[in-house]
Amino acid sequence: MPSVDGVDPDDPRLDAGTTLVVFKGARRLGLYAAGTRVACYRVGLGFSPTGHKQVQGDGRTPEGWYRTSDKPWSSFEHAIAIHYPNEADAVAAARDGRIGGATRDRIVADVRAGRVPPQNTKLGGAVLIHGGGSSVDWTLGCVALDDVDLLALREALPKRMRTNLLVVR
């Protein structure tokens, strides 16, 4: 696994069975198996890709550690859900007054239980890895791949698409 600014090189998630890393600046998604890159795909991001997602509609792609799973709600065929917001997002948003304590607690409880967190908060939701093309930044905050690459990625991921995802600048 390459060194990533701001990420503890001893973090066990980096060497887990399967890990995805989105390098926002390079517009690439790396697929890693036990710390070794096995594939790399070009990606498009949100229409305002610089910085970390703060609120619904800001066009930013979130940054940090997330879990993924198969999506039940998207019209994008073969999409993979990103479990956004995560615990750090919820704690920071509550501290900054973007969400209340009850919403923070609900997000934290779901993340810790391995469930998809609430998708209807002021922080936004329904952030996905989906197809539709990677040549420009066009999504509302999702990670977009070319359709053929999305199918190849799905083939390489564990059943139900559950894995760790790191999104970095």
Q: Distance of alpha carbon 139 from its chain centroid, rounded?
A: 13
Give 117's DSSP letter. P
> Binning pLDDT at 50, 70 and 90, where does residue 3 land?
low
Pick the CATH number of 15-84+124-168 from 3.40.50.740, 3.40.50.720, 2.40.440.10, 3.40.50.970: 2.40.440.10
Region 120-135: mean pLDDT is 96
Compute and round to an integer the Cα radius of gyration of the chain.
15
pTM: 0.92
Region 2-14: mean pLDDT is 70
Which comes out higher in pLDDT, residue 13 or 79? 79
Decide if pLDDT at 144 tops 80.
yes
Decide if pLDDT at 6 tops 70.
no
Residue type, 118: P
Is-contact 80 66, C-beta < 8 A?
no
Mean of all residue pLDDT scores within the chain: 92
CA dihedral 166, 25, 82, 148 (to 10 degrees): -110
pLDDT value for 2: 60
